[in-house]
Amino acid sequence: MQAFNPYLPSWEYIPDGEPYIFGDRVYVYGSHDKFNAKLFCVKDYVCWSAPLSDLSDWTCSGVIYRKNQDPMNRLGLRILFAPDVAKGPDGRYYLYYAYDFLGVIGVAVCDRPDGEYTFCGHVHYPDGTVWGRKKGDEFPFDPGVLVDDDGRVWLYSGFETHVPAIMSRFRGHKSSGGVVLELEQDMVTVRSGPKLLFPLKTNHAPEDFKGHEFFEASSIRKIDVRYVFVYSSTNNHELCYAVSDRPDGEYRFGGTLVDQGDLYLHGNTDEQHAANYLGNTHGGMVELNGDWYIFYHRQTNQHSYSRQACAERLVRTPDGGFKQAEVTSCGLNGGPLAGRGNYSAGIACNLWSREGTARYDRKFEKKLHPYITQSGRDGDRHSVQYVANMRDGSVAGFKYFSFDAEKEIRVSACGRGTGTVEVSVAPDFKVLSAGIHVELSGGRKSFTGTLSVPDGTWPLYFRYRGSGHMDFYGFEIL
């Protein structure tokens, strides 16, 4: 079986994914979006996992923690933001979470990595005061947890915002940047800290972080003998990393790990001409079968409230760091996809209109842009994901495929209009691999043409040229 991006079923929406290996499986813990929702993270936490022997075979264990299990949220009115999980010194599994902007971090515990977690407390000082409730406390947000080799427990947190409605809730709090606390062996009591590690852009961030200063999404790993801190930068649509020889200080900027639109990868920094539409992202790193991967999320449905889990393989640098990964359709597949078979348009990793791209957290003219969406309601396992609203000049790109001969290609589409679907292995379409005439009158139809692609590994880009609009459901390489 092949693995794709997104790696979970197309009807599932898990952003903020933190991957961990427990036993012979990789588990992903994230928040839980709803398709076509109006807010982030409106559903309860679930856990997905896959055997290390088959990273295409993901299974859901069901709900592991509900919004109303915490005594501070008995009515379930607050929503669960990005979590993290760590195996404690006692062998049990601890789930750390923050309710939207409540300003505390809760902890739940379970005997199994994917079992039903029970509330066990809020992170608090030795005198019992909840962290975040003292005047002058740093604002608790986006927990990242590490139980070190020596058993010491480290909790990372922090974020930046300039939204007045959120800032007004900070009464008595500070938001200086990314901080670290050491916890006692009970996993909930503060032993020391918080200590500022990653000052904000507005708070004298170190020069080596310039242009990629800390914003949110703390995630921590120990790789070899060094500590690697993953975070979302002020650019919001990229995950960066910093490295130190100690868990609680002296971090140096490492670089960008992944950007949703491949910005910074080849010197392009133009958000209106990225390789994909942009929004927030959050994730963590894990080593799977000898390769390191960065887990992140993408946006769908022209907003930031229906996000999906993706992953990309990372390449190490000679000094032990990581090169920036390119966003792809094959993610966890371990290599290119087969140059034969059926593929959903929902696995498009590149998408833009004739006018370029946009950020989903800012105003843009939605009717001009293509977007990924689904045919059914939230949770409908029979729904079909597709690229909607491809107008003249719109492009959907898929990376990568392994080709060994010329073939035919069949595209599945509906909509209203007449035109041509151009296919190329290059985003500028200077050389066409296929040109398929389409006539769209409402119902879903298939159209076939000859595909001419050199032997080897290549992307495929599909561009609609014509009148009206096309909803692109998928393609078959014959």
Same domain, 190 and 289: yes
Q: By percentage, how much of the chain surpasses pLDDT 90?
A: 95
**pLDDT tens string 409-461:** 999 999 999 999 999 999 999 999 999 999 999 899 999 999 999 999 999 99
pLDDT at site 169: 58
The answer on pLDDT for 248 being more than 80 is: yes
Residue 471 structural domain: 338-477
81 pLDDT exceeds 90? Answer: yes
131 and 116 share one domain: yes
pLDDT at 163: 53
Question: Rounded to an integer, what distance in angstroms lies between the CA atom of residue 325 and that of residue 295?
Answer: 11
- Note the pLDDT of residue 42: 97
Comparison of pLDDT for 170 and 21, the residue scoring more = 21
pLDDT of the residue at 174:
82
Distance CA(313)–CA(19), nearest Å, equals 13
- Would the pTM count as exceeding 0.85? yes
- Most distant pair of Cα atoms in the chain: their distance: 73
Q: In terms of domains, do 464 and 371 share one?
A: yes
Pair (176, 159) in one structural domain: yes
401 inside domain: yes
Domain ends where: 291, 317, 334? 334
69 and 164 assigned to the same domain = yes
**CATH number of the domain that 328 lies in?**
2.115.10.20
The mean-pLDDT minimum among 48-57, 133-142, 254-263, 371-380 falls in: 133-142
476 burial type by CB count under 10 A (0-12 exposed, 13-18 middle, 19+ buried): middle
| Inter-residue contact 413 to 370 (CB < 8 Å) | no
In this structure, the answer to whether residues 330 and 346 fall within a common structural domain is no
Q: What is the pLDDT of residue 63?
A: 98
Domain shared by 183 and 241, yes or no: yes
215 pLDDT above the threshold of 80: yes
Tokens of 20: 């961990």
pLDDT tens for 279-323 read 999 999 999 999 999 999 999 999 999 999 999 999 999 999 999
Q: Does residue 185 lie in a domain region?
A: yes
In terms of domains, do 303 and 367 share one? no
pLDDT in tens, 451-461: 999 999 999 99
351 within some domain: yes
In a domain? residue 5: no
CA torsion angle 73 76 82 88 (round to 10)? 50
Regarding whether 448 and 306 lie in a shared domain, the answer is no
CA distance 305 to 277: 14
Pairing of strands 106-110, 118-122: antiparallel
- Cα four-point dihedral sign 359, 365, 369, 373: positive
**Is 111 among the domain residues?**
yes
What pLDDT digit, counting tens, does each position of 9-37 carry?
A: 999 999 999 999 999 999 999 999 999 99
Instruction: Give how many domains the chain has, as a whole number.
Output: 2
Residues 301 and 397 in one domain: no
Are 231 and 219 within 8 A, CB to CB?
yes
The rounded distance, in Å, linking the Cα atoms of 136 and 81 is: 23
Q: Which of 294, 314, 334 is the last residue of a domain?
A: 334
Domain shared by 299 and 350, yes or no: no
User: Is 2 domain-assigned?
Assistant: no
414: domain CATH number is 2.60.120.260
Q: What is the pLDDT of residue 217?
A: 98
Q: Are residues 138 and 211 in the same domain?
A: yes
pLDDT at 173 over 90: no
Give domain status of residue 212, yes or no.
yes
Question: pLDDT for 110-157, tens place per residue?
Answer: 999 999 999 999 999 999 999 999 988 999 999 999 999 999 999 999
User: Residue range 29-56: average pLDDT?
Assistant: 98
**Mean pLDDT, the chain, integer:** 96
Catalytic positions? 16, 216
Q: Is residue 207 part of a domain?
A: yes
Q: Which two tokens stand for residue 344?
A: 């959903």
Q: Indicate the residue among 307, 334, 361 that finishes a domain.
A: 334
